[in-house]
Amino acid sequence: MSVVVTLPQLGESVLEGTIARWLVKEGDRVERDQPLVEVTTDKVDAEIPAPEAGVIEAILVPEGETVAVGGELARIGTGEGAAAEPRETAAPERAAAAPAAGRERSGPPAAVRATPAARRAAEEAGVDLASVEATGPGGRVRRADVERSRGAEASAEARREGGPRAAAPPRTREPAAPARRPGRAAPRARDDADAEARARFGHYAIQEGDRVTPMSPLRKLVAEHMVYSKRTSPHVGTVAEVDLGGVAAVRNEQKRAFREAHGLPLTFLPFVVHATVRALREFPALNASVLEDAIVEKRDIHIGVAVETEKGLVVPVVRHADRLSLAGLAAAIEDLSNRARTKKLTADDLKGGTFTVSNPGREGNLYGFAIINQPQVGILRMGEIVKRPVVRPIDGQDAILIRPIMHLALSYDHRAVDGAPANGFLHRVKELLEEAEFDL
């Protein structure tokens, strides 16, 4: 069961509110009456409390957006199953049947001491536990011992005797019913190098109480892409501090009119994309790819915009972003993120990006370096926008002002791009944002 938290009717003449700050995040457990969100109206700043205890299932309106009275803000899952459910479905049999792995069994002593995982492995492989040489603490048979005794491929791993991670789980078959049979969470070995590395460094043996979720196809794809990118491309990171005061002023001035004219919220993201596109025109080295031993600078600018969805990260592409006005960019980004969230993206929406902007948002994100979206050579990652004291000259005197500051982090591929153009590009993005000369 879930309850929906809406913006209450705060007063006769209060028609809408702007989400100032979320005080909870998705997945948080909340008590009844715990403040969830700060909403600003033209009259008051109001904290909306939780109507019921439960778990925040979804936050429906991001910070900075305006909602009409009665608009839905968040969904709270109530009742017993709200939090516990995914945990239980992850490994039902384990929870029910298996006592501790790595702890003493509490029941009557078995003839052969063995971990539950080893028993299961032995049963599956048809191995008699009594015939297996035990290496576990207290002379217990571990799963690795079972594998070794049947001459499994994993024997190399098992030979790291005594190490805490020596136990190698059995190779998963096809993950047909993964939830019923917790296997490895990591993707299968894809080449010999991976298998060798695993053998050398070991990997985690699942323990009682662990929650095991097989990777979704999208998760696997993302994982592979990340590993490939890091392996292929030497990443260098550089950060700029950007004063968004000018952009904030333009945004505040225009957002109402913008919503009326285009039916869209005006966020910071299109401003950043717009500045990025203009800077890419001046620094084509960042709008490039490495093709074997050549560097290809592209004429067209297609900007990938990283979007978090329920299913994970997707990066739909705004095509010909350099031909779009700020409003056009805002509309394109809005359309793509809506379709990403409702799973209506087509394969074409995800293809052909020449540069990427990532906006992970949320609090606690000062800055961070994104992994380059291959085969591109650069990615910009937006940090949180926070008011900070900065030094600015006022009437010839240095003074401390409070300004909205964002850290903008560029990761670039040092195969293709050197520090000077990369810094030049990042500085140009900063300049354009601080000049804040945007035509809507």
Partner 1 sequence: MSEHLQIEWLGALRYGDALERQLAALAERRRGGPDRLLLLEHPSVITLGRSARPEHLRSAPAVLAARGVELFEVARGGDVTWHGPGQLVGYLIVDLAARGTPDVSAWLRRIEAALIEALGALDVAARRIPGLTGVFLAGGGRPRKIASIGVGLRGWISWHGFALNATPDLAGFDDIVPCGLSDVAMTSVAEALGVAPTQALFERTRGAVAAAFERSLA
- Point out which residues bind partner 1 (CB under 8 A): 8-14, 20, 33, 35, 38, 40-49, 245, 387, 389, 394, 399-403
Decide the pairing of beta strands 378-394 and 355-358: parallel
Q: How far is the CB of 266 from partner 1 (least distance, A)?
A: 17
CB-based contact 315:219 (threshold 8 Å)? no
Phi and psi at 318, nearest 5°, equal: -85, 110
Q: How far is the CB of 243 from partner 1 (least distance, A)?
A: 11
CA distances from 116 to 101, 213, 399 (A): 6, 20, 67
Q: How far is the CB of 8 from partner 1 (least distance, A)?
A: 8
Exposure of 140 in the CB half-sphere (CA atoms within 13 A)? 21
The gap from C-alpha 275 to its chain's centroid, in whole angstroms, comes to 24
CB closer to partner 1 out of 44 and 296: 44
Euclidean distance between CA atoms 425 and 357, whole angstroms: 14
Quick check: is 414 catalytic? yes
Q: How far is the CB of 24 from partner 1 (least distance, A)?
A: 15
CB closer to partner 1 out of 14 and 227: 14
Q: How far is the CB of 391 from partner 1 (least distance, A)?
A: 9
Euclidean distance between CA atoms 417 and 433, whole angstroms: 23
The amino acid occupying position 402 is: I
CB closer to partner 1 out of 176 and 391: 391
Q: CA Rg, the chain, in Å?
A: 27
Nearest to 330 by CA among 299, 301, 305: 305
Q: How far is the CB of 45 from partner 1 (least distance, A)?
A: 5
CB-based contact 320:268 (threshold 8 Å)? no
Q: Is 288 exposed, middle or buried (0-12, 13-18, 19+ CB in 10 A)?
A: buried
CB closer to partner 1 out of 43 and 165: 43
Check the CA dihedral 272-273-279-285 and report its sign: positive
CB closer to partner 1 out of 100 and 402: 402
CB closer to partner 1 out of 52 and 210: 52
Euclidean distance between CA atoms 37 and 407, whole angstroms: 25
Q: How far is the CB of 65 from partner 1 (least distance, A)?
A: 15
Catalytic residue among 33, 42, 300, 414: 414
Q: How far is the CB of 33 from partner 1 (least distance, A)?
A: 7
Euclidean distance between CA atoms 113 and 236, whole angstroms: 52
Euclidean distance between CA atoms 185 and 291, whole angstroms: 33
Quick check: is 418 catalytic? yes
Euclidean distance between CA atoms 112 and 119, whole angstroms: 10
Q: How far is the CB of 36 from partner 1 (least distance, A)?
A: 10
The count of other CB atoms within 10 Å of the CB of residue 158 is: 21
CA distances from 203 to 157, 158, 339 (A): 9, 11, 38
Buried b (16+ CB within 10 A) or exposed e, 379-404: bbbbbebeeeeeeeeeeeeeeeeebb
CB closer to partner 1 out of 142 and 403: 403
CB closer to partner 1 out of 403 and 430: 403
How many residues would you count in the chain?
Answer: 440
Catalytic residue among 33, 243, 418, 427: 418
* Residues designated as active site: 414, 418
